[in-house]
Amino acid sequence: MNQPANDVLSKVVSGNPADEMSRTDDLTKECDMKKLSLAMIILALSACASSPATWKGMSERDIAEWKEIGFNAEQAQAWKGAGFNAEQSSSWSKQGFNLETAQSWKSQSFNPQEANSWKTGGFDVESAVESRDKGLTPVKVE
């Protein structure tokens, strides 16, 4: 093979090193941009998922009732989602129960005042149910 043919062949096979570096840099940048775009999408979606609750789905009257008892939108949505209205939530809260403990006691047919009496007497939900089923009541501590 003659020299010009070898030069053309070497350029076709290996290409110009500067051109190859440029293409590699372009591919690297494109890959980096895709990764960055993906990260931004994930960040945006996770931010939406963890954004604070709103008053969405509640009437103006409902919102006023929740605000009147001092609940913010997040608290109101949580309690409402668990089946409590503003009045019930207020009663449970005033008796010292958070949403989780209120649900636990309510699911066993205790009202806030009864649950508080049992809790103040040193009973947990399970032992209060057992004692109540035996016809016992908590001793009122005054």
Q: What is the mean predicted confidence (pLDDT) over 112-123?
A: 96
Return d(Cα 62, Cα 15) in angstroms, integer.
72
Residue 19 has pLDDT above 80, yes or no: no
Q: What is the per-residue pLDDT across 77-101, written as a single tens digit (0 to 9) for each?
A: 999 999 999 999 999 999 999 999 9
Widest CA span of the chain, in angstroms? 111
Would you say how long the chain is, in residues? 142
Return d(Cα 54, Cα 52) in angstroms, integer.
6
Residue 124 has pLDDT above 50, yes or no: yes
The answer to whether 51 and 73 are in contact (CB under 8 A) is no
Q: What pTM does this model have?
A: 0.62
Tokens of 142: 């005054």
In degrees, rounded to 5, the angle at the alpha carbon of residue 98 between the alpha carbons of residues 51 and 139 is 180
Return d(Cα 2, Cα 17) in angstroms, integer.
22
